[in-house]
Structure 1
Amino acid sequence: MPLLAFWESNPDEVSQTSIEQIVAMAGDGNLRDGSLCSSELRQYLTQADTSKLASYVEHCLSNSFAKGGQVFQDLVNELGRRLDFKVTNGRYQGTVNAIGFDGIWLSPEGHTIVAEVKTTDAYRIPLDTIASYRRKLLDNSEITEPSSILVLVGRQDTGELEAQIRGSRHAWDIRVISADSLLKLIQLKENSDDSETGRKIRSLLTPMEFTRLDSLVDAMFTTATDVEATIIQSAVEKTDTTDVAASKEPSATPSGWEFTDGAVLDAKRGKAIDALARRLGVKFIKKSRALYWDSAHETRVACSVSKRYTRGSYPYWYAYHPQWNEFLGEGTRSFFLLGCMDQETAYAIPLDVLREHLAALNTTTTERSTYWHIHLSETSSSSIALQLPKTSRQLSLEDFRIPLESS
């Protein structure tokens, strides 16, 4: 059975299969430029969880197998996509009439990276040759300035390669990163909620002048601040005074911090995402802590989870952020997915339905943005409804109910 068909029908079994076996299942199993094997492998990688990509990387670096270098190249290019670069895969082997780059990574900010992938730096890398790839791509208008070169290596022991670059005339155009560090950057991005963090992380992969350290400190501070805020948000739920005012019940007075295990919240989020994926017949990959999309970036989800609140009028409270609204709006099929900690169901509100009712929701304005309050209540028939406080109405969510367990 071809890889993609088998992946579609037996995802759990494929997830337990080694990367060597996956290559063997793709096409005719012969990984070469322009082959069906290459096409199927790359398509599969766009749908695999980042944690699975990390295990494949480790396997490639720890085991010698046929086409291991080519597989590693495809894996690294997919990691570039997880940082929101638009990636063009290069060739496995150069030809006389083709430019021999391993990948072209275009950032949302407009910077182009010519990627050179190496499983090891045990031998000297021809820097002039790599630089010529970039020059030819510019001459052919296949890339534009600003641009630079990024050498992505299997291991962190890159001292000899770093010295080679520093002693060359290409020192200001080339940077080096290990696959392990690249994976760490992706983990930071996927556990964040702020798009600015992704931008700062991508900036670390481009040449910087470190006589003045402000840009590096700025990137580190932005990332650390966002991750800290995300950890607090996932572990601590604090009653919002705006929500309290909206509830009009004195009993809802804030009484301090209420702790919810972040791992439990993430597990519930994962079950909700999996349930919606089954319903839609797609496979989602993680963009950030709350945002997911399919490999084509056409089907998109923002997922939020609420515990049950025992005080006030509304048992479930959420926030809907403007950056989520923008992200969902760039897809062709998008949903705001609401999970409830004490329920085995979730509610997938289509974006067009949600936007139709945004004007009827309460909002809070902070220094950074204005976000909407999502209040769910239980009706007399034990169904769930979205409160529309500015119109004194409610919207039943029963049509959007999704069971978390597959039938």
Structure 2
Amino acid sequence: MVELTLDRIVSLAGDWNDDSRASEQFREIIENEQTTTEEIEAYLREAMEGTEQYHNRALQDIVNNIGRRLGFEVEYGIYQGRSDIIGYDGHWKSTPTEDETHLVVETKKTTAYSIDPGQAGDYMAELTNRDDIERSQIYGLYVIGEGDVETVAQTVFGSQYRDRMRVITAQRLLDLLKIQEDSGLRHDQVVDVLLPINAVDVGQLVGLIQDVIEFREDNSTGAESTGAGTTGTSWDGPQTGGDAVQGTISRDELGGPNDATVAVFPSQTSGVEFLKENNAWGFVHINQQPEYVAMYISDDVQQIHYVARVQQIVPAADATLARTLESYIGDQAEFDEGKKVVVFEPDSLYELEDPIEYESRVPYSLRYTELSRFKQAETTDDIL
């Protein structure tokens, strides 16, 4: 629940301009790894419903933050054009792909006014010259708040930039983030979704993926909630105050195929107690069963510090825990009926001898990576 609204930020911090206190404060809030996707969506709704200039500028920041959460390195753009700086709303860079991919992002709250692809095209050319980037590595992305997106797509399609620009609504971009969190899209797959061949309105593609996922969930046999054919949890380990951590392990010692899935969860240091007491992690939204869970600990730790093998995933209400569900509210996340508990295999929870240090990317929520990348990573940037 968003408590510090956009209106409240302006009333406390003053005008919302480039390098202003209001802008800095808002970016601090949305970049905090404890700020949930649901809270970002609430800010998006407030920005879309508002009519003041700062609502437009907040929307620009929100779109850039969604890009960061999708795994891009993000440079926030400026609100008001200046002659000494490229005027894009955002510059997103993807480094995990074989060749760096750059997105020049333009955010438009409405399509009430005509959109000129040439403006973003000029920004793309300026970025090419400024950073000596190959032209083939740069794309444009229009993010639309509301309005006739099809008209924008047709305008782009009829321009010289038809192969270099894409269009998506802000809500569809947020939907893509939710898909990534719930269904295991890696960052390189996110890039493929945003930059498909022969498509301009990529929001349609996101909608198709979302429909497929919802169809799969509606027709699920329920296997995900009981693991490998079992029911409930049966771990008889430490109870309140216990410690399920078995010691330390190096990443090279983790067994499994290179493409085994590792689910990376964020946690505050207070959440470590839940891990140790329950040999499990909760309460989370997860729609597949990975081979491993890895825990990024925030606060003063700022590293991926724990790893465990997954035994099964159960509804939170069915999990056997050291304490009552109610007593855990506020430790990691609020409990609700849709959340689950990831139960680890007995004696599989370890601290990493070679933890993965934070560089510039943190898992704001559930992220997936492959075991081979997890083993080889030097920093969080290598897997997120």
Report the TM-score range of the alignment, normalised by the length of the smaller protein.
Answer: 0.5 to 0.7
Aligned twin of 1:140 = 130
Change (3 A) 1:146 1:306: closer
Aligned twin of 1:363 = none
Aligned twin of 2:85 = 98
Aligned counterpart for 2:59 among listed residues 42, 48, 72: 72
1:33 and 2:8 aligned: no
Aligned twin of 1:334 = 305
Specify the SS of the correspondent of 1:352. strand
Q: Give, in angstroms, the shift of residue 21 of structure 1.
A: 1.1
**Number of equivalences:** 276
Aligned counterpart for 2:115 among listed residues 115, 125, 141: 125
1:258 and 2:249 aligned: no
1:19 and 2:6 aligned: yes
Q: Deviations over 1:173-202 (max 9, x none)?
A: 11100011111111111112x354x43233
Question: C-alpha separation between the residues in 1 aligned to 2:223 and 2:8?
Answer: 37
Aligned twin of 1:168 = 159
Equivalent residue letter for 2:161: H
Specify the SS of the correspondent of 1:119. strand
Equivalent residue letter for 1:160: T
Question: C-alpha separation between the residues in 1 aligned to 2:281 and 2:223?
Answer: 9
RMSD of equivalent CA atoms: 4.6
Aligned twin of 2:30 = 45
Gaps of 5+ in 2: 234-260, 284-288, 311-315, 332-343, 356-369, 373-384
Question: C-alpha separation between the residues in 1 aligned to 2:232 and 2:24?
Answer: 46
Specify the SS of the correspondent of 2:67. helix
Is the CA contact 1:150–1:176 (under 8 Å) kept in the aligned structure 2?
yes
Is the CA contact 1:23–1:37 (under 8 Å) kept in the aligned structure 2?
yes
1:202 and 2:187 aligned: no
Specify the SS of the correspondent of 1:153. strand
The structure carrying a bigger helix percent of its residues is 1
Gaps of 5+ in 1: 1-11, 240-255, 261-287, 308-318, 356-367, 371-407
Aligned twin of 1:269 = none
Change (3 A) 1:233 1:82: farther
Change (3 A) 1:320 1:123: closer
Question: C-alpha separation between the residues in 2 aligned to 1:341 and 1:351?
Answer: 23
Aligned twin of 1:385 = none
Question: C-alpha separation between the residues in 2 aligned to 1:124 and 1:131?
Answer: 15
Is the CA contact 1:173–1:207 (under 8 Å) kept in the aligned structure 2?
no
Query: What percentage of aligned pairs have identical amino acids?
Result: 23
Change (3 A) 1:210 1:76: closer
Specify the SS of the correspondent of 1:203. helix
TM-score, normalised on structure 2? 0.59
Equivalent residue letter for 2:93: L
Equivalent residue letter for 2:4: T
Question: C-alpha separation between the residues in 2 aligned to 1:50 and 1:146?
Answer: 29
TM-score, normalised on structure 1? 0.56
Q: Which moved more, 1:16-25 or 1:164-173?
A: 16-25
Greater Rg over alpha carbons, structure: 1
Q: Give, in angstroms, the shift of residue 157 of structure 1.
A: 2.9
Is the CA contact 2:66–2:174 (under 8 Å) kept in the aligned structure 1?
yes
Q: Give, in angstroms, the shift of residue 234 of structure 1.
A: 7.9
Change (3 A) 1:143 1:369: closer
Is the CA contact 2:143–2:169 (under 8 Å) kept in the aligned structure 1?
yes
Change (3 A) 1:93 1:341: farther
Q: Give, in angstroms, the shift of residue 29 of structure 1.
A: 2.2
Question: C-alpha separation between the residues in 1 aligned to 2:267 and 2:102?
Answer: 24
Greater relative CO, 1 or 2 (CA 8 Å, sep 6+): 2
